[in-house]
Amino acid sequence: DVKVTQSSRYLVKRTGEKVFLECVQDMDHENMFWYRQDPGLGLRLIYFSYDVKMKEKGDIPEGYSVSREKKERFSLILESASTNQTSMYLCASTRTGNTEAFFGQGTRLTVV
């Protein structure tokens, strides 16, 4: 059974903290994505990666960075968390040439 695993279901962080969200996939997929989900806005792409150490900005990269040191792992970093980054964060992966995405369960982040 294919799997995308996000390290935390729920996180509460303070304003100004550095926050790491981790995502691991076991399908040997080339591409990995971080989305942010907010009511009425659907899923918005923050960053994606098509290879180890490669990354591209999505639609809303401001305030975020990413790291992909190994093929199976893609990390989202909030350098200095702010309250407007309170949201649901979803990680996904795809195989190149087959854009069906597999999603993790999501991390609900609250910044106080």
Partner 1 sequence: AQSVTQPDIHITVSEGASLELRCNYSYGATPYLFWYVQSPGQGLQLLLKYFSGDTLVQGIKGFEAEFKRSQSSFNLRKPSVHWSDAAEYFCAVGLYSSASKIIFGSGTRLSIRP
- Output the smallest distance, CB 110 to partner 1, in A: 15
**How far is the C-alpha of 28 from the C-alpha of 94, rounded, in Å?**
9
Q: What strands lie across the sheet with 73-78, from one edge to the other?
A: 4-6, 19-25, 73-78, 64-70
- 35 to 54: interface string for partner 1, x by CB under 8 A: x----xxxxxx--x-x----
Cβ-based nearer residue to partner 1, 41 or 80: 41
Residue 89 in the binding site for partner 1 (CB under 8 A): no
- Among the listed residues 12, 18, 52, 56, the single contact to partner 1 using CB under 8 A: 56
Q: Applying CB under 8 A, which part among 19-27, 61-69, 70-78, 91-99 lies near partner 1? A: 91-99
- Output the smallest distance, CB 16 to partner 1, in A: 28
- Output the smallest distance, CB 45 to partner 1, in A: 7
